[in-house]
Amino acid sequence: MANIILVGSQWGDEGKGKVVDIYTEFADVVIRFQGGGNAGHTIVIGDQQIILHQIPSGICHPDKLCIIGNGMVLDLETLVEEIELLRKNGYFFDDSQLLISEEVHLVMPYHRLLDVGKEKKAGDKKIGTTGRGIGPAYADKINRTGIRFIDLFDENVFREKLEINLAEKNPYLANQLDQPECNGNELFEKFTALGENLKPHLTNTSVTINRLIQEGKNILFEGAQGALLDIDHGTYPYVTSSSTTAGAACTGCGIGPTKIDGVVGIVKAYSTRVGEGPFPTEQHNEIGERLQEHGKEFGATTGRPRRCGWIDTVVLRHAVRVNGLTSLALTKLDVLSGMEKIKICRAYRIDGCEVAEFPANIQKVADSAPVYEEVEGWNQDISAVRRNEDLPSAAKNYINVLQELLGVEFILISVGAKRDGTILLKNPFTLERI
Ligand code: IMP
C-alpha cells in the first residue's frame, strides 16, 4: 500500500540491483524511470549472476510486474538480447510480466555512433561515457527530434523522423567524427520489425501505473546511476544525461509527487566512480587497490575498473537533500572487513575553510582536501552475519557514525553479493521491523 523510490546516493554502482531484487519480495510492481543501457544492475541468485541493463531488477520474480517508464531511453536491439539472456537463464517466460511505455524515446544506432565518436574526438576532455548512446538520445528528446516507441507504428511519421535525423547526423558522423553513416532504409526495416516483435509489451504505462496505485499495490521505482551523476545535481559536465534523483520517478512514469511515500538511498560502504570527473576521497594507493580488488569494482556495463576511495558524507548529505531520502540501505559492508582503520569524510577543506555542502564549482571539488574522521575497523569476516546484533561492535559503530552524520537511518545492510547476504532491518514499504 505504498510507493517508494530507490535511488543511488553516490556515483552509481552502489548495488541497487541486489537491493531492488530483495525489495521485490515486498512489492507488486517494479518500474525503471530514467537512464537506459548505461545501467548495469547485478543480481546474484545462487551461483547465477544476472546483469540487467534496461529491464527492471524485479524481473527474476515471475509473479511481479515490471514496467519500463516513459523517462528511459530504450535501445530495442539490446533489449531483445537482454530478454533472450533472461530466458536462457530460466526467467521471464510470460510476456505480460513486462510493460513498456508508448512514449519512451528510442536509442538509435546513430546515437551510439555519436556517443563513441564525440568521446574519441574530445580526447582528454572526454566524459568517460558508457558509449551506449545515452547522451545523444536524451539530446534529441530535448531538441524535439527524438523517435518514440509509438512512432514505429506510423510508417509516415517514422520515415520522416528518420530522414530528418539522418540528414543532420550522417554528415556530422562521417565528416566530423570519422564514424560510419547510417542507412535510412535499413534502419526503417530493422526497427519496424523490432517494434512488431515488442508490440505486446507496449501500453500507456502512465494509465496503468496510476490504476495500480489506486488499487493499493506496493510499487518500487528503481533508479539508475546515482545523485552525483544527475544532470542538474551532479558533477556537471561529468554526469549522465538524465535526472537520476527521486523527482525523476514522477516525470519518468507519468505520476504525481503526491503518490510517493518514501525514498530509499542506496549507499555503498566506500566510494567508487567510473569515468572522468572530480572524486575528492579517491585513493591512489594500496587502500584504493584493496577496495577495488575486494569489492570486485569493475563496471557491470563496460568492464572498466572503477576508481575507489573512502566514504564521503558531503556527497551523501547532498544526496539526502536533493532526493529527500527517508531511509538508507548500506551495501558492501563486508568489503571493509580486515581494515585496521576506516576513514569517513565529513567535510571538505577549500581555500582554507571547512565546507559541509557539496560545491557547485567542480574545480573547487577537485581542489578540495577531505576532512576525515577515523574509526576502528574490524577483522572478522561478516559475510555470514544475518542479524544486526551479530555484527562486530566496530562495524556497528561505523554504521552509527554514518547515521549521525547523515540524519537518516539504515534499514538494510548488505554483507555479500548473494540474495541471502543481507541484514534486513525494516520492510521498506511499511517501515515495520523485520
Ligand atoms: P553515459 O551515461 O553513458 O553518458 O555516461 C556518463 C557518465 O556516467 C560516465 O562517467 C559513466 O561512467 C557514468 N555512468 C553512466 N551510467 C552509469 C552506471 O550505471 N554506473 C556508474 N556510472 C555510470
Q: How confident is the model at residue 302 (pLDDT cuts 50, 70, 90)?
A: confident
Q: Are 281 and 312 in contact (CB under 8 A)?
A: yes
Atom of ligand 1 nearest to the CA of 275: 10
Q: Say whether pLDDT at 304 is over 80.
A: yes
Considering only CA atoms, which residue is closest to atom 11 of ligand 1? Answer: 129
**Which band of pLDDT confidence, cut at 50, 70 and 90, is reported for residue 22?**
very high
Question: Is residue 433 in some structural domain?
Answer: no
Cβ(6)–Cβ(264) below 8 Å: yes
Report the nearest-CA residue for atom 20 of ligand 1: 12
Domain check: are 182 and 267 in the same one?
Answer: no
Same domain, 194 and 275: no
Whether residue 304 sits in one domain with residue 266: yes
All three cell numbers of 224, joined, read 539508475
Asked if residue 430 is part of any domain, the answer here is no
Confidence class for position 52, pLDDT limits 50, 70, 90:
very high
- The pLDDT of residue 129 is 97
Q: How far, in Å, CA of 177 to CA of 118, rounded? A: 7
229 C-beta closer than 6 A to ligand 1: yes
CATH number of the domain within which 212 lies: 3.90.170.10
Among residues 163, 182, 200, the one where a domain terminates is 200
Q: Is residue 362 part of a domain?
A: yes
- 52 and 182 share one domain: no
Indicate the pLDDT class of residue 382, thresholds 50, 70 and 90.
Answer: very high
Q: In terms of domains, do 52 and 124 share one?
A: no
347 pLDDT band (50/70/90 cuts)?
very high
pLDDT at 240: 98
Say whether both 62 and 182 belong to one domain: no
So what's the pLDDT on residue 96? 97
DSSP-assigned states of every residue in 315-354 = HHHHHHHHHT--EEEEE-GGGGTT-SEEEEEEEEEETTEE
Indicate the pLDDT class of residue 1, thresholds 50, 70 and 90. confident
CA torsion sign, 315 to 316 to 317 to 323? Answer: positive
* CATH code of 155's domain: 1.10.300.10
Domain count, the chain: 2
Give the mean pLDDT of 317-321.
98
* Residue (of 177, 161, 55, 164) closest to 115 by Cα position: 177
Closest ligand 1 atom to Cα of 132: 3
- Expressed in angstroms and rounded, the spacing between residue 24 Cα and the centre of ligand 1 is 25
Centre of ligand 1 to C-alpha 305, Å, is 13
Q: What is the mean pLDDT of the chain?
A: 97
Contacts of 208 (CB under 8 A, 6+ apart): 67, 99
Residue 300: what pLDDT?
A: 81
Query: Measured from the CB, is residue 235 less than 6 Å from ligand 1?
Result: no
Q: Which of 396, 386, 389 is nearest to 420 (CA)?
A: 386
From 107, 130, 239, mutation site for ligand 1 pocket: most ligand atoms within 8 A of C-beta: 130
Cβ(128) to ligand 1 under 6 A?
Answer: yes
Q: Between 75 and 47, whose confidence is greater?
A: 75
Same domain, 188 and 305: no
The CA distance from 31 to 142, in Å, is 22
113, 417, 104, 388: which is closest to 251 by C-alpha? 104
CB 20 within 8 A of CB 6: yes
Give the H/E segment covering residue 45.
strand 41-45
Same domain, 216 and 141: no
pLDDT digits (tens, 9 = 90+) for 356-367: 999 999 999 999
User: Among the options 21, 41, 105, 201, which is catalytic?
Assistant: 41
Q: Is the dihedral of CA 394, 397, 402, 408 positive or negative?
A: positive
Nearest residue (by CA) to ligand 1, atom 15, is 38
Q: Which of 4, 429, 3, 5 is nearest to 245 (CA)?
A: 5
- Same domain flag for 165 and 208: no
Q: Indicate whether 303 belongs to any domain.
A: yes
**pLDDT cut 90: percent of the chain above it:** 97
Which pLDDT score is estimated for 299?
87
Beta carbons within 10 angstroms of residue 160's beta carbon: 12
Dist CA 30 CA 32 (whole Å): 7
Domain boundary among 200, 216, 247: 200
What is residue 410's predicted lDDT score, i.e. its pLDDT?
98
120 shares a domain with 50: no
Radius of gyration of the chain (CA): 22
284 part of the active site: no
72 within a domain of the structure (yes/no): yes
pLDDT tens track for 133-169: 999 999 999 999 999 999 999 999 999 999 999 999 9
- For residue 228, being part of any structural domain is answered with yes
Distance in angstroms (rounded) separating the CA atoms of residues 14 and 8:
6
Q: What pLDDT band is residue 241 in, cutting at 50, 70 and 90? A: very high
**Percent of the chain surpassing pLDDT 70:** 100
In a domain, 429, yes or no: no
Its sign, for the CA torsion 89, 90, 93, 96, is negative
Q: Of the candidates 184, 224, 211, which has an alpha carbon nearest to the alpha carbon of residue 32? A: 224
pLDDT tens digits for range 390-431: 999 999 999 999 999 999 999 999 999 999 999 999 999 999
Same-domain status, 70 and 132 = no
Which of 38, 42, 228 best tests ligand 1's pocket when mutated (most atoms within 8 Å of CB)? 38
User: How far is C-alpha 4 from the chain's CA centre?
Assistant: 15
Interval 195-217: pLDDT, tens = 999 999 999 999 999 999 999 99
Do 177 and 214 fall into the same domain? Answer: no
Query: Of the candidates 180, 200, 220, which is a domain's last residue?
Result: 200
- Does the pTM of the predicted model rise above 0.95? yes
Residue-number span of the structural domain to which 374 is assigned: 3-96+204-424
Does the annotation count 41 as an active-site position?
yes
| 85-140 pLDDT, tens digit each | 999 999 999 999 999 999 999 999 999 999 999 999 999 999 999 999 999 999 99
For the segment 225-229, the average pLDDT, to the nearest whole number, is 98
Q: Which atom of ligand 1 is nearest to the CA of 135?
A: 4
